[in-house]
A = this chain, B = another copy of it.
Amino acid sequence: MASKAVVIVSGGMDSTVLAHWAIAEGYEISLLSFDYGQRHKRELIYASLTAVRLGAPHHVVDLTSITKLLSESNSTLLGHQGDVPEGHYSAENMAKTVVPNRNAIMLSIAYGHAVAIGASQVFTGVHAGDHAIYPDCRPEFIKKLTFALQLGNEGFGDPEIHAPFVEISKTDIARLGWGLKVPFELTWSCYNGRDKHCGRCGTCVERLEALHGAGVEDKTEYEDSEYWKQAVAEFNATH
């Protein structure tokens, strides 16, 4: 019997590649998404599309009631407390999108679900670019949290939390996904929630740079598909 894995999927490209990868590795996957009141709820629809395409169960956890609790900090991801920053996904810009302990909360819930269904793994798509910005995406954190949660569930289950992409770049993830035939146009990255990807926010720039860098034939439609080159060039010139 295949080992079970809970895969946290946002609908973005990293976690979609992760779900395809987990299946390729032979896991029986169960997908888990979180509605935490993000502006770009659109990505949850893409997570559902992935579940249907892969024939996997998919649960969306409603965390909107914690939005207010975590939003006294200056995150622009939640609600409308500021403009989504345009330009490069640099530390200065992306620090504005930190939601305290968000990844820890999602991992704890996924862990409980994994214990409940007898899964041996919780997979998260955080990658090398994330942990420069979000302290709860760092490998040491994931390791320490796993130890804590294994202790906290002793006698009931001891799944591991794995972030297989934690040491690789988004470009590497794109390359891996391209090899796994992931339909990237059915993933969503944009922090603005309009009909098409804006092409100008930090995650759009990051996405475009990664897909181009990996040589992916990207069928995604963007409002502005050229801006990313300028943002990356400007960033490189000044850093």
Contacts and interface: CB of A to CB of B under 8 A. Distances in A.
Q: How many copies does the complex hold?
A: 2
A113 B70 contact: yes
Nearest to A30: B69
A40 interface: no
B65 A69 contact: no
The interface residues of chain A, by DSSP majority, are classed as: helix
Interface in A86-134: 98-105, 108-109, 111-113, 115-117
B100 A116 contact: yes
Interface stretch (A42-50, A151-159, A195-203): A151-159
Contact of A104 (B108, B136, B155): B108
Contact of A116 (B59, B60, B70, B117): B70
Contact of A72 (B64, B116, B147): B116
- Of residues A66, A102, A108, A144, which shows the largest number of chain B Cβ atoms within 10 Å of its Cβ? A108
Contact of A148 (B59, B64, B116, B144): B144
Interface in A147-177: 147-149, 151-157
B156 A152 contact: no
